[in-house]
């Protein structure tokens, strides 16, 4: 056997190089060896395995910069094995695992555990993030330099905001010496603590305590001042309001080292999805108004919002089958982030290349990863997408251990039909 695999008859799409052309590529030993426009059978090296893409989009594998994987400590909700199966089915080839586990990832040994466990059990790449503060208590910053040397690609306290301005200032200042990325959950804690959904007419009618949208922009604007003071790299995760997007757009215009992401549920749903107390739609930050949702879409379109994330947050039934205010925050999303993003392509709200950029090149650059691009020598982490395949999001298709999706029974168009990690197929819809 030659060890070569040739993908032919593909629509190559690579945001990193702006490539959008008919062609194919050849991979060997887990890396891309050659990219050839118009690649056809006569050009394939002798002995290579040939995969006919039948005109479908062949792009870099998706990179999810924010997902909770359960291990260690909450394996009843999710494991790296089950999460990676779901990720592969969703076209995701790399997951940045949130540090908010039990125990949380605030020591070198725990960073090493996540990396080792991923190598042993996951079928996609899993890279660890680590906590900004010890125990996620928001009081004392961790030894971020040592954690980065152990393999942490970014630092975040997960769904818990760093409320102290002094602690955030110290974290950003420390991070500059190592060129580390600080990821913030953008909610002012004292304003968000007692709320369960977006504050407004809907929350009043349902009798559910609300989280005012100003809680988000207050935190973002405070942090942007600290970035300006320290020069630290800063990322606002799961941005959800028009005011926050405007603030970040202005910060970028001033040249600050700032990025942000949007979760799929914040551009695909608004607060009306809560309906009659549907706890699967309880997320943090909460689903916002339609005006805010449209602002998120616009922020994706113009590039203010750099990345799309799943914000995959699995919960067992006991955590969700509670009164709305007491139910846990979060929705699973590894298998649904791509089709939900493709909705914006099909409705002509965001160009396909921009969406793929937010799912590949941008998160790779943000996290300092070698993947996220079609280039000679790059990892052969790839996704084959059927843009037009109709299907319906149903619980029976979920490979996650938990099933708490905010999108149950939603019709969609387009999905991953093959996912390749380091040159090996880890998901093939036609063999499913």
The encoded tokens of residue 148 equal 């980065």
CB atoms within 10 A of CB 244: 28
**Looking at residue 1, what is its pLDDT?**
43
In a domain, 243, yes or no: yes
Give which of 127, 137, 179 is closest to 158, Cα–Cα: 137
Which residues of the chain are modeled with pLDDT < 70? Answer: 1-2, 39-42, 432
In a domain, 144, yes or no: yes
pTM listed for this prediction: 0.96
Q: Which domain holds residue 207?
A: 61-367
In a domain, 356, yes or no: yes
In a domain, 175, yes or no: yes
In a domain, 306, yes or no: yes
In a domain, 54, yes or no: no
From the list 292, 311, 381, 386, the catalytic residue is: 311
Sign for the pseudo-dihedral over CA of 10, 11, 16, 19: positive
pLDDT per residue over 196-223, tens digit each? Answer: 999 999 999 999 999 999 999 999 999 9
Query: How is residue 138 annotated by DSSP?
Result: S
Radius of gyration of the chain (CA): 21
Partner residues linked to 382 by β-bridges: 60, 420
The encoded tokens of residue 387 equal 């843009």
Number of domains in the chain: 1
311 part of the active site: yes
**Looking at residue 37, what is its pLDDT?**
83
Sign for the pseudo-dihedral over CA of 80, 82, 83, 84: positive
- The answer to whether the bond into 278 is cis (omega within 30° of 0) is no
Return phi, psi of residue 379, to 5°: -55, 140
In a domain, 135, yes or no: yes
Sign for the pseudo-dihedral over CA of 334, 214, 289, 357: negative
Read off the CATH number of the domain in which 143 is found. 3.20.20.140
**Terminal alpha carbon distance of the chain:** 26
**Looking at residue 39, what is its pLDDT?**
63
CB atoms within 10 A of CB 76: 14
Report whether 384 contacts 27 (CB < 8 A).
no
């Amino acid at each position: 056997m030659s060890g070569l695999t040739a993908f032919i008859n593909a629509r190559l799409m690579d945001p990193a190089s702006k490539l959008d052309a008919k062609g194919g590529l050849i991979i060997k030993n887990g890396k891309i060896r050659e990219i050839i426009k118009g690649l056809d059978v006569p050009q394939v090296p002798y002995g290579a395995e040939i995969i006919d893409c039948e005109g479908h989009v062949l792009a870099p594998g998706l990179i999810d910069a924010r997902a909770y994987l359960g291990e260690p400590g909450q394996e009843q909700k999710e494991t790296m094995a089950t999460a990676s199966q779901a990720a592969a089915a969703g076209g995701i080839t790399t997951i940045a695992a949130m540090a908010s586990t039990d125990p949380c990832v605030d020591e070198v040994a725990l960073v090493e555990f996540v990396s080792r466990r991923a190598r042993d059990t996951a079928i996609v790449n899993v890279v660890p993030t680590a906590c900004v503060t010890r125990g996620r208590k928001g009081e004392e910053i961790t030894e971020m330099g040592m954690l980065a040397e152990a393999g942490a690609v970014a630092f975040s306290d997960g769904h818990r905001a760093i409320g102290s301005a002094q602690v955030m200032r110290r974290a950003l200042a420390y991070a500059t010496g190592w060129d580390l990325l600080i990821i913030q959950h953008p909610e002012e804690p004292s304003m968000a603590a007692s709320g369960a959904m977006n504050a407004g007419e809907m929350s009043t009618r349902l009798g559910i305590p609300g989280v005012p949208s100003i809680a988000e922009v207050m935190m973002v604007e405070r942090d942007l001042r600290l970035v300006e003071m320290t020069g630290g790299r800063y990322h606002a995760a799961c941005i959800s309001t028009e005011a926050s997007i405007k603030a970040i757009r202005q910060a970028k215009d001033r040249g600050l080292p700032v990025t942000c992401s949007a979760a799929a549920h914040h551009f695909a749903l608004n607060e009306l999805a809560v309906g009659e107390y549907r706890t699967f739609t309880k997320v943090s930050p909460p689903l916002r108004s339609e005006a805010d949702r449209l602002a998120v879409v616009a922020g994706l379109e113009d590039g203010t919002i750099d990345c799309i994330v799943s914000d995959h947050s699995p919960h067992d039934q006991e955590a969700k089958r509670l009164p709305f205010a007491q139910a846990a925050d979060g929705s699973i999303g590894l298998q649904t982030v791509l089709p939900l993003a493709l909705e914006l392509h099909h409705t002509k709200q965001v160009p396909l290349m921009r969406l793929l950029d937010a799912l590949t090149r941008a998160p790779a650059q943000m996290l300092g990863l070698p993947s996220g691009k079609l280039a000679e020598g790059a990892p052969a982490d790839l996704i084959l997408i059927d843009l037009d395949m109709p299907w319906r999001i149903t619980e029976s298709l979920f490979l996650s251990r938990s099933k708490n999706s905010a999108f149950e029974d939603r019709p969609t168009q387009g999905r991953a039909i093959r996912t390749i990690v380091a040159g090996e197929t880890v998901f093939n819809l036609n063999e499913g």
